[in-house]
């Protein structure tokens, strides 16, 4: 994954959520965004996903500058797999149909092609036996795995995950984190917002800590967690790793 952010600003009214964010990454397979609540992590992820417009600045992913207009963003979103903390599954559709519907309507697959892709992905994630269940009939961990399966089925260039375990209990959290780790081992490029510090440390090639709309620190996990240069980073890690 190659990611370039140049002076990215995002304001909601008079409130600045992202304050001149800049970074250049090349050859990174997993970037983890960590930091205190309200620091701008999810907003930055949504801008990279093309779901939010920056107020100013430039974003490029894999050497392609993201153009923030409706037509260009539709093309960009088709190349990105996005997973949210609240699953975002259609509650009235089965797990299988949650995957086949975007494949048909957004990506132009025939019903037969979409079904083949969806069933293969569900089988890969050990969910084929649950293909005809609706989200309410699945556990939280299964619902999130279906959401990840939907994101993967489109064969995205990058998978963006926004706090994918925050709504899960510890057992289901472990189940989902193991699946994300498997995706990394397969060579998938991931951009992950997470509050799971141990997971970020083990999985990420680079960790960026966002606080008050700025990148307080970015580097390899061992640098950020063991030899933090920023007072903001040291204080954040002291608090979250205390217990």
Radius of gyration of the chain (CA): 18
DSSP 124-147: HTT-GGGTT--GGGS-HHHHHHHH
Looking up tokens 């990174």 gives 28
Tens digit of pLDDT at every position of the chain (243 positions): 999 999 999 999 999 999 999 999 999 999 999 999 999 999 999 999 999 999 999 999 999 999 999 999 999 999 999 998 877 899 999 999 999 999 999 999 999 999 999 999 999 888 999 999 999 999 999 999 999 999 999 999 999 999 988 878 888 888 889 999 999 998 999 999 999 999 999 999 999 999 999 999 999 999 999 999 999 999 999 999 987
Instruction: Report pTM.
Output: 0.92
List of domains in the chain: 1-79+158-243 (3.40.50.300), 87-156 (no CATH)
């Amino acid at each position: 994954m190659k990611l370039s952010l140049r002076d990215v600003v995002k304001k909601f009214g008079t409130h600045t959520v992202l304050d001149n964010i800049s970074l250049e990454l090349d050859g990174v397979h997993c970037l983890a965004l960590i930091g205190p609540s309200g620091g701008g992590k999810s907003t930055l992820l949504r801008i990279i996903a093309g779901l939010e417009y920056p107020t100013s600045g430039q974003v490029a992913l894999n050497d392609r500058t993201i153009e923030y207009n409706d037509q260009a963003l539709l093309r960009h979103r088709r190349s990105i797999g996005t997973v949210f903390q609240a699953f975002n599954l259609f509650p009235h559709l089965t797990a299988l149909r949650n995957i086949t519907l975007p494949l048909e309507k957004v990506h132009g697959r025939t019903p037969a092609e979409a079904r083949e892709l969806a069933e293969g992905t569900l089988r890969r994630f050990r969910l084929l036996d649950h293909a005809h269940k609706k989200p309410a009939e699945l556990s939280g961990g299964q619902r999130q795995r279906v959401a990840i399966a939907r994101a993967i089925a489109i064969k995205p260039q990058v998978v963006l995950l926004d706090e994918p375990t925050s709504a899960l209990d510890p057992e289901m959290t472990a189940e989902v984190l193991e699946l994300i780790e498997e995706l990394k081992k397969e060579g998938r490029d991931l951009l992950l917002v997470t509050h799971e510090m141990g997971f970020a440390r083990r999985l990420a090639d680079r960790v960026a800590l966002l606080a008050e709309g700025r990148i307080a620190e970015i580097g390899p996990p061992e640098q950020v967690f063991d030899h933090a240069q920023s007072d903001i980073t040291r204080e954040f890690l002291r608090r979250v790793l205390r217990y």
